[in-house]
Chain A
Protein backbone atom coordinates (compact mmCIF):
# COMPACT_ATOMS: atom_id res chain seq x y z
CA UNK A 1 0.00 0.00 0.00
CA UNK A 2 1.42 3.42 -0.92
CA UNK A 3 2.45 5.79 1.88
CA UNK A 4 0.67 9.13 1.46
CA UNK A 5 1.64 10.52 4.84
CA UNK A 6 4.85 12.02 3.37
CA UNK A 7 3.41 13.18 0.04
CA UNK A 8 3.68 16.92 0.67
CA UNK A 9 5.35 17.61 -2.65
CA UNK A 10 3.38 15.31 -4.93
CA UNK A 11 -0.39 15.53 -5.43
CA UNK A 12 -2.44 12.42 -4.73
CA UNK A 13 -4.43 11.74 -7.87
CA UNK A 14 -8.16 11.03 -7.49
CA UNK A 15 -10.60 9.55 -10.01
CA UNK A 16 -14.34 9.85 -9.22
CA UNK A 17 -16.66 7.19 -10.67
CA UNK A 18 -20.43 7.61 -10.26
CA UNK A 19 -23.34 7.61 -12.70
CA UNK A 20 -24.85 10.57 -10.89
CA UNK A 21 -23.55 13.93 -12.04
CA UNK A 22 -24.49 15.58 -8.75
CA UNK A 23 -22.59 12.94 -6.78
CA UNK A 24 -19.45 13.36 -8.90
CA UNK A 25 -19.60 17.13 -8.42
CA UNK A 26 -20.37 16.75 -4.71
CA UNK A 27 -17.34 14.53 -4.06
CA UNK A 28 -15.08 16.88 -6.02
CA UNK A 29 -16.40 19.94 -4.19
CA UNK A 30 -16.54 18.44 -0.71
CA UNK A 31 -13.24 16.68 -0.43
CA UNK A 32 -10.78 18.79 1.52
CA UNK A 33 -7.77 16.51 1.77
CA UNK A 34 -4.51 18.39 1.25
CA UNK A 35 -2.67 17.35 -1.91
CA UNK A 36 -5.66 15.35 -3.20
CA UNK A 37 -6.24 16.42 -6.79
CA UNK A 38 -9.15 15.28 -8.96
CA UNK A 39 -7.66 14.08 -12.24
CA UNK A 40 -10.78 12.67 -13.83
CA UNK A 41 -14.33 11.40 -13.50
CA UNK A 42 -16.43 8.74 -15.17
CA UNK A 43 -20.11 7.82 -15.21
CA UNK A 44 -19.83 4.04 -15.62
CA UNK A 45 -17.35 1.21 -15.23
CA UNK A 46 -16.27 1.09 -18.87
CA UNK A 47 -15.55 4.80 -19.02
CA UNK A 48 -13.74 4.52 -15.67
CA UNK A 49 -11.24 2.06 -17.14
CA UNK A 50 -10.51 4.39 -20.06
CA UNK A 51 -10.06 7.42 -17.78
CA UNK A 52 -8.01 5.33 -15.36
CA UNK A 53 -5.58 4.34 -18.14
CA UNK A 54 -5.31 7.96 -19.28
CA UNK A 55 -4.85 9.58 -15.85
CA UNK A 56 -3.15 6.92 -13.67
CA UNK A 57 -4.87 7.87 -10.40
CA UNK A 58 -3.68 6.80 -6.94
CA UNK A 59 -7.17 6.81 -5.43
CA UNK A 60 -10.64 6.05 -6.83
CA UNK A 61 -14.09 6.69 -5.38
CA UNK A 62 -16.41 4.09 -6.90
CA UNK A 63 -20.19 3.83 -7.07
CA UNK A 64 -21.58 0.31 -7.44
CA UNK A 65 -24.87 0.55 -9.31
CA UNK A 66 -23.98 1.92 -12.74
CA UNK A 67 -24.88 1.12 -16.36
CA UNK A 68 -22.65 -0.88 -18.75
CA UNK A 69 -20.27 -2.14 -16.05
CA UNK A 70 -21.01 -2.02 -12.33
CA UNK A 71 -18.59 -0.90 -9.65
CA UNK A 72 -17.74 -4.37 -8.36
CA UNK A 73 -16.57 -5.57 -11.79
CA UNK A 74 -14.77 -2.29 -12.35
CA UNK A 75 -12.88 -2.60 -9.03
CA UNK A 76 -11.60 -6.00 -10.11
CA UNK A 77 -10.36 -4.63 -13.44
CA UNK A 78 -8.72 -1.55 -11.93
CA UNK A 79 -6.85 -3.65 -9.37
CA UNK A 80 -5.55 -5.82 -12.23
CA UNK A 81 -4.26 -2.66 -13.95
CA UNK A 82 -2.71 -1.18 -10.79
CA UNK A 83 -2.60 -3.48 -7.75
CA UNK A 84 -1.75 -0.72 -5.25
CA UNK A 85 -4.58 1.64 -6.24
CA UNK A 86 -6.77 2.64 -3.28
CA UNK A 87 -10.51 2.31 -3.90
CA UNK A 88 -13.27 3.76 -1.74
CA UNK A 89 -16.71 2.35 -2.54
CA UNK A 90 -19.35 5.10 -2.25
CA UNK A 91 -22.74 3.46 -2.57
CA UNK A 92 -26.33 3.43 -1.34
CA UNK A 93 -26.19 -0.37 -1.21
CA UNK A 94 -25.99 -0.70 2.53
CA UNK A 95 -25.96 -4.48 2.91
CA UNK A 96 -22.97 -6.31 4.31
CA UNK A 97 -22.77 -8.80 1.43
CA UNK A 98 -22.14 -6.02 -1.08
CA UNK A 99 -19.39 -4.50 1.07
CA UNK A 100 -17.71 -7.89 1.51
CA UNK A 101 -17.87 -8.62 -2.21
CA UNK A 102 -16.31 -5.24 -3.04
CA UNK A 103 -13.52 -5.80 -0.51
CA UNK A 104 -12.85 -9.26 -1.90
CA UNK A 105 -12.41 -7.78 -5.37
CA UNK A 106 -9.86 -5.31 -4.03
CA UNK A 107 -11.67 -2.26 -2.63
CA UNK A 108 -10.14 -0.71 0.49
CA UNK A 109 -13.01 1.17 2.11
CA UNK A 110 -16.77 1.65 2.05
CA UNK A 111 -18.84 4.84 2.49
CA UNK A 112 -22.61 4.67 2.48
CA UNK A 113 -24.73 7.19 0.60
CA UNK A 114 -26.05 9.58 1.63
CA UNK A 115 -22.99 11.07 3.30
CA UNK A 116 -22.07 14.36 4.90
CA UNK A 117 -18.94 16.30 3.94
CA UNK A 118 -17.36 15.26 7.21
CA UNK A 119 -18.07 11.57 6.59
CA UNK A 120 -16.56 11.81 3.10
CA UNK A 121 -13.38 13.43 4.35
CA UNK A 122 -13.02 11.02 7.24
CA UNK A 123 -13.41 8.07 4.86
CA UNK A 124 -10.79 9.51 2.50
CA UNK A 125 -8.40 10.23 5.37
CA UNK A 126 -8.78 6.71 6.64
CA UNK A 127 -8.25 5.31 3.17
CA UNK A 128 -5.07 7.32 2.69
CA UNK A 129 -3.75 6.48 6.13
CA UNK A 130 -3.97 10.14 7.08
CA UNK A 131 -6.48 9.80 9.88
CA UNK A 132 -3.85 10.40 12.55
CA UNK A 133 -1.34 12.28 10.38
CA UNK A 134 -3.50 15.35 9.62
Chain B
Protein backbone atom coordinates (compact mmCIF):
# COMPACT_ATOMS: atom_id res chain seq x y z
CA UNK B 1 0.00 0.00 0.00
CA UNK B 2 1.42 3.36 -0.95
CA UNK B 3 1.82 5.87 1.82
CA UNK B 4 0.16 9.26 1.17
CA UNK B 5 3.21 11.06 2.55
CA UNK B 6 5.40 9.35 -0.03
CA UNK B 7 3.09 10.41 -2.84
CA UNK B 8 3.08 13.98 -1.51
CA UNK B 9 6.88 14.12 -1.60
CA UNK B 10 7.01 12.99 -5.22
CA UNK B 11 4.22 15.38 -6.23
CA UNK B 12 5.91 18.30 -4.48
CA UNK B 13 9.19 17.58 -6.27
CA UNK B 14 7.35 17.80 -9.58
CA UNK B 15 5.17 20.86 -9.02
CA UNK B 16 8.03 22.72 -7.35
CA UNK B 17 9.93 22.61 -10.62
CA UNK B 18 7.20 24.48 -12.50
CA UNK B 19 6.60 26.94 -9.70
CA UNK B 20 10.23 27.90 -9.18
CA UNK B 21 11.89 27.43 -12.58
CA UNK B 22 9.03 28.76 -14.71
CA UNK B 23 7.43 30.99 -12.06
CA UNK B 24 4.03 29.51 -12.88
CA UNK B 25 2.38 26.87 -10.70
CA UNK B 26 1.14 23.54 -12.04
CA UNK B 27 -2.11 22.02 -10.83
CA UNK B 28 -2.94 18.42 -10.03
CA UNK B 29 -5.64 16.28 -11.55
CA UNK B 30 -7.37 13.51 -9.67
CA UNK B 31 -4.98 10.64 -8.96
CA UNK B 32 -6.03 7.18 -10.09
CA UNK B 33 -4.79 3.63 -10.05
CA UNK B 34 -3.74 2.26 -13.42
CA UNK B 35 -5.80 -0.77 -14.21
CA UNK B 36 -4.06 -2.34 -17.17
CA UNK B 37 -0.28 -2.58 -16.98
CA UNK B 38 2.03 0.38 -17.32
CA UNK B 39 0.40 3.77 -17.96
CA UNK B 40 1.14 5.19 -21.38
CA UNK B 41 4.10 7.56 -21.59
CA UNK B 42 4.47 10.84 -23.47
CA UNK B 43 7.44 11.74 -25.70
CA UNK B 44 9.85 12.45 -22.83
CA UNK B 45 10.15 10.56 -19.55
CA UNK B 46 12.49 10.91 -16.60
CA UNK B 47 12.68 7.76 -14.51
CA UNK B 48 14.06 7.14 -11.03
CA UNK B 49 14.44 3.70 -9.54
CA UNK B 50 13.76 3.12 -5.86
CA UNK B 51 15.09 0.30 -3.73
CA UNK B 52 15.39 -0.37 -0.01
CA UNK B 53 12.28 -0.26 2.17
CA UNK B 54 10.27 0.25 -1.03
CA UNK B 55 11.01 -1.03 -4.50
CA UNK B 56 9.88 0.17 -7.87
CA UNK B 57 10.00 3.18 -10.11
CA UNK B 58 8.75 6.75 -10.17
CA UNK B 59 8.56 8.62 -13.45
CA UNK B 60 7.55 11.98 -14.83
CA UNK B 61 6.40 11.82 -18.41
CA UNK B 62 5.57 14.90 -20.47
CA UNK B 63 4.71 15.83 -24.04
CA UNK B 64 7.13 17.77 -26.21
CA UNK B 65 4.82 20.82 -26.24
CA UNK B 66 4.81 21.18 -22.47
CA UNK B 67 8.58 20.87 -22.18
CA UNK B 68 9.14 23.28 -25.06
CA UNK B 69 7.03 25.97 -23.39
CA UNK B 70 8.67 25.27 -20.04
CA UNK B 71 12.11 25.77 -21.60
CA UNK B 72 10.94 28.99 -23.22
CA UNK B 73 9.56 30.22 -19.89
CA UNK B 74 13.05 29.61 -18.51
CA UNK B 75 14.36 31.93 -21.26
CA UNK B 76 15.98 29.05 -23.13
CA UNK B 77 15.60 29.52 -26.87
CA UNK B 78 17.26 26.23 -27.84
CA UNK B 79 14.41 23.71 -27.71
CA UNK B 80 16.37 20.87 -29.29
CA UNK B 81 15.70 17.21 -28.53
CA UNK B 82 18.84 17.17 -26.34
CA UNK B 83 17.63 20.08 -24.25
CA UNK B 84 14.15 18.57 -23.87
CA UNK B 85 15.79 15.35 -22.62
CA UNK B 86 17.93 17.46 -20.32
CA UNK B 87 14.86 19.23 -18.94
CA UNK B 88 12.82 16.10 -18.21
CA UNK B 89 15.94 14.72 -16.51
CA UNK B 90 16.18 17.85 -14.35
CA UNK B 91 12.55 17.48 -13.27
CA UNK B 92 13.22 13.84 -12.34
CA UNK B 93 16.39 14.96 -10.58
CA UNK B 94 14.33 17.33 -8.43
CA UNK B 95 11.87 14.56 -7.59
CA UNK B 96 14.81 12.35 -6.63
CA UNK B 97 16.44 15.08 -4.52
CA UNK B 98 13.23 15.72 -2.58
CA UNK B 99 12.75 12.02 -1.96
CA UNK B 100 16.29 11.67 -0.61
CA UNK B 101 15.69 14.57 1.74
CA UNK B 102 12.35 13.26 3.04
CA UNK B 103 13.09 9.55 3.15
CA UNK B 104 16.80 9.60 3.98
CA UNK B 105 18.36 6.18 4.11
CA UNK B 106 15.03 4.31 4.07
CA UNK B 107 15.18 4.42 0.29
CA UNK B 108 18.03 4.13 -2.18
CA UNK B 109 17.12 6.39 -5.08
CA UNK B 110 18.88 6.19 -8.41
CA UNK B 111 20.20 8.97 -10.59
CA UNK B 112 17.44 9.68 -13.13
CA UNK B 113 17.48 8.14 -16.58
CA UNK B 114 15.76 9.75 -19.54
CA UNK B 115 13.69 7.87 -22.09
CA UNK B 116 12.40 9.54 -25.24
CA UNK B 117 9.69 8.32 -27.58
CA UNK B 118 6.00 7.85 -26.96
CA UNK B 119 6.24 4.12 -27.51
CA UNK B 120 9.21 3.64 -25.21
CA UNK B 121 8.80 0.94 -22.68
CA UNK B 122 9.02 2.15 -19.11
CA UNK B 123 8.24 -0.96 -17.14
CA UNK B 124 6.97 -0.77 -13.57
CA UNK B 125 7.17 -3.92 -11.43
CA UNK B 126 4.44 -6.33 -12.54
CA UNK B 127 3.14 -7.02 -9.04
CA UNK B 128 2.07 -3.51 -8.09
CA UNK B 129 -0.47 -1.08 -9.46
CA UNK B 130 0.89 2.30 -10.47
CA UNK B 131 -0.65 5.46 -9.06
CA UNK B 132 -1.02 8.09 -11.77
CA UNK B 133 -1.14 11.78 -10.85
CA UNK B 134 -2.06 14.07 -13.75
CA UNK B 135 -0.05 17.32 -13.77
CA UNK B 136 -1.61 20.25 -15.61
CA UNK B 137 0.38 23.32 -16.58
CA UNK B 138 -0.92 26.03 -18.91
CA UNK B 139 -2.76 24.08 -21.62
CA UNK B 140 -0.59 20.98 -21.28
CA UNK B 141 -0.88 17.79 -19.28
CA UNK B 142 1.81 15.43 -18.05
CA UNK B 143 1.81 12.50 -15.64
CA UNK B 144 3.65 11.56 -12.52
CA UNK B 145 3.57 7.79 -12.05
CA UNK B 146 4.46 6.20 -8.73
CA UNK B 147 4.79 2.45 -8.68
CA UNK B 148 6.31 1.20 -5.43
CA UNK B 149 5.77 -2.03 -3.53
Contacts and interface: CB of A to CB of B under 8 A. Distances in A.
B97 interface: yes
Interface of A: 20-23, 25-26, 29-30, 65, 91-96, 98, 112-116, 119
Contact of B93 (A25, A29, A98, A113): A113
Interface string B77-102: 01000110011011001101110110
Contacts of A93: 97, 100-101
Contact of B23 (A91, A113, A116): A116
B111 A65 contact: yes
Contact of B89 (A20, A26, A29): A20
The interface residues of chain B, by DSSP majority, are classed as: helix
Interface stretch (B14-22, B37-45, B130-138, B139-147): B14-22
Interface stretch (B26-34, B52-60, B68-76): B68-76
Contacts of A23: 86, 90
A119 B19 CA distance: 13
Contacts of B78: 25
Contacts of B76: 22, 25-26
The interface residues of chain A, by DSSP majority, are classed as: mixed
Nearest to A94: B101
Interface of B: 16-17, 20-21, 23, 71, 74-76, 78, 82-83, 86-87, 89-90, 93-94, 96-98, 100-101, 104, 111
Find the residue from A22, A23, A30, A95 having the highest chain B CB count within 10 A.
A22
Contacts of B17: 114
Contacts of B20: 114-116, 119
A14 B144 CA distance: 36
Nearest to B20: A114
A95 B78 CA distance: 32
Nearest to A95: B101
A26 B16 CA distance: 17
A55 B74 CA distance: 28
Closest 4 interchain pairs by CB? A92-B97, A94-B101, A114-B21, A114-B20
